[in-house]
Amino acid sequence: MAKILNAPLTKNPYVLKWVEEQIALTTPDYVMWIDGSAEQLDQLRNEVCALPEGHNDKMYRLNQDKLPGCIYHRTLPNDVARVEGRTFICTPEKDGAGPTNNWMDPAEMHAKLNKLFTGAMKGRTMYVIPYSMGPIGSPLAKVGVELTDSIYVVLNMEIMTRMGKRAFENLGDENPDFVKGLHSKALVDPEERYIVQFPQENAIYSINSAYGGNVLLGKKCFALRIASYQGKNEGWMAEHMLILGVKRPGDDEVKYVTAAFPSACGKTNLAMLIPPKYYREQGYETFTVGDDIAWMKPGKDGRLYAINPENGFFGVAPGTNENSNFNALASTRKNTIFTNVAMNEEDNTVWWEGLTKEPPVFAREWKGAKVNGKAFVADGNKLAHPNSRFTAPAINCPCISPEFDNPQGVPVSAMIFGGRRESTTPLVYQSFDWVHGTYVGSAVSSETTAAATGEVGVLRHDPMAMKPFIGYNVGDYWAHWIEMGKILGDKAPKIFNVNWFRKDEEGHFMWPGFGDNMRVVDWILKRVSGEADAVETAIGYLPKPEDINLSGIEDEVSQETLAKLLSVDKDLWKKEVAQMRDYYAELTAGGAHIPQELYDVLDKIESKLG
């Protein structure tokens, strides 16, 4: 019989009954309800940092003068990333999950999970974590309860969500509408590792992992896979999008854009954008509302409003430095958890590739071995794992928006899609309308290279940057986008596509990127407010070259280069249309219900291309 260490934090019978059932299944020795208090969290930090060397749960306090409140953890080498191949959407019919998800019959999966979870917490403590995705009291927020046997999960969830007894304020004592999450490290066995979503049951199960996105169930599992399904049913949107605010000189209010990019396409950099010197001198300001996920719902005025359901940043460490992303690095300076980075033993701080030019000499690489860092790196080894992470409170970010905790969210003026395209796609273009914009989102992709595939220009599709995160049939997801456009009508955000990665004939990037992407965002906002003209092409509205402000980068981007960046090659776009038809056909063969409206867009583009 499990010993209950403190009183339950709610009288909600649905929560209490579910927790009791999972205690009976997993048979922990102890049960602790996480109230979110500083005293309780300090107790857990002390406990996990006092564990002996070599213990799988062990965490380390870092230099508290240089990194106050920061701690370090390393996972097992077989447990260092999200595992898409072990991630399932379980719906009564396979058709409900669609071709972009792994599917299993719910009864079959429950039988498998029940066997794995039976007694999985014996000898351990079950932590009951109530949490809110979104600001407490927000009509856009949702409540989850995660049960876990990992202090690492508790401490990360404290950063990434609004965690503790206050989360139950959003739920109340009679409401059954909460997302159930059960996680156990169990044996951390990769052969029996499962991350499973049951959308109809509002439930998530994760077993045999102790890493990040597999176990912080509020993140991708809830905030995208479950929430996207909830949004379809309830008339809102859960998207893999950053939220950026821009205050332009002369504007009365901050304007907000959301943006969705596949990995390695500059999403975090745009979320924490620092405008170039020229723009700062003009009085432009930028504000981060979110770096990863946006929940968006029509407001009373008919506009679309967005919140960031998260409360922190779960960022990739390698490559992050003062030059590449000053604000992201600044966010990690206190009360941050570092996972699988290297330890600098000279001063008990952290290091990763790209942080500084020279690695530390006295170091522990990410698996824990003491090494001469310089010699280790010189031999071709990585001190930090390429997917090593920091979990940092959003409040640490120097450019965090004053509206970050606004329960009503922020009004969205524009949505931006983008991918990594060496050719074909211009620097920026605007969709003709919302349905065309939905098509543009469905076509998000990055090009492979000859070295990787043997053929240049093969598209790796990642629609809306949501391919691994859509909690139901991808075709129905696109149909929901089209339906949201009808609801929003003329108040719908304008939709744009950007491409920072176009190359010239010698293979050099033509656009400087990073802070200079402000120049493109500026044109986008001018289009939204009717201040800038555009050129109509077969694929959408493009800027007139003179409307992209090149002040300060004239030596880097000539007018000739800009003209190339804004060019539309009809032959390449005919191939693009053909590839999209093939992609839709592939999805349809897998059971996707592609809306006819998207085929109509393809027909129109093809007709305009001649």
> How many distinct structural domains can be found in the chain?
3
556 and 574 part of one domain: yes
Active-site residues, by number, are 265
Check residue 447 and give its pLDDT: 77
Token pair in block for residue 103: 């599917």
Is residue 355 situated within a structural domain?
yes
Best CA proximity match to 344, nearest among 321, 366, 326, 325: 366
Q: Which of 342, 372, 396 is the last residue of a domain?
A: 396
- Measured CA to CA in angstroms, residue 154 lies from 36, 45, 72 at distances of 9, 10, 14
Residue 323 neighbours by CB distance under 10 Å: 9
200 and 266 part of one domain: no
Q: How far is Cα 209 from Cα 185, in angstroms, rounded to an integer?
A: 5
474 and 595 part of one domain: yes
418 and 504 part of one domain: yes
Is residue 187 situated within a structural domain?
yes
Check residue 319 and give its pLDDT: 95
Residue 177 neighbours by CB distance under 10 Å: 12
Quick one: CA dihedral 71, 72, 75, 79, positive or negative? positive
596 and 576 part of one domain: yes
Residue 494 CA, chain-centre distance (Å), reads: 22
Check residue 448 and give its pLDDT: 60
Region of 419 please: left (phi>0), alpha (psi -120 to 50) or beta: beta
CATH code, domain carrying 463: 3.90.228.20
492 and 450 part of one domain: yes
Is residue 185 situated within a structural domain?
yes
> Mean pLDDT for each 10-residue chunk of the chain (610 residues)?
96 98 98 98 98 94 98 97 95 98 98 98 98 96 98 98 96 96 97 98 98 96 98 98 97 97 91 97 98 98 98 97 96 98 98 97 98 97 97 98 98 97 96 98 80 58 97 98 98 98 95 97 98 98 97 96 97 96 98 98 97
CATH code, domain carrying 329: 2.170.8.10
Is residue 477 situated within a structural domain?
yes
21 and 94 part of one domain: yes
Q: Which of 355, 380, 396 is the last residue of a domain?
A: 396
Q: For residue range 359-414, list pLDDT tens digits in order.
A: 999 999 999 999 999 999 999 999 999 999 999 999 999 999 999 999 999 999 99
Residues of the domain holding 429: 239-311+403-609
Check residue 264 and give its pLDDT: 81
Q: Which of 216, 235, 254 is the last residue of a domain?
A: 235
As a dihedral over the C-alpha atoms of residue 470, residue 473, residue 476, residue 480, rounded to 10 degrees, the angle is -20
Check residue 48 and give its pLDDT: 98
CATH code, domain carrying 115: 3.40.449.10
155 and 246 part of one domain: no
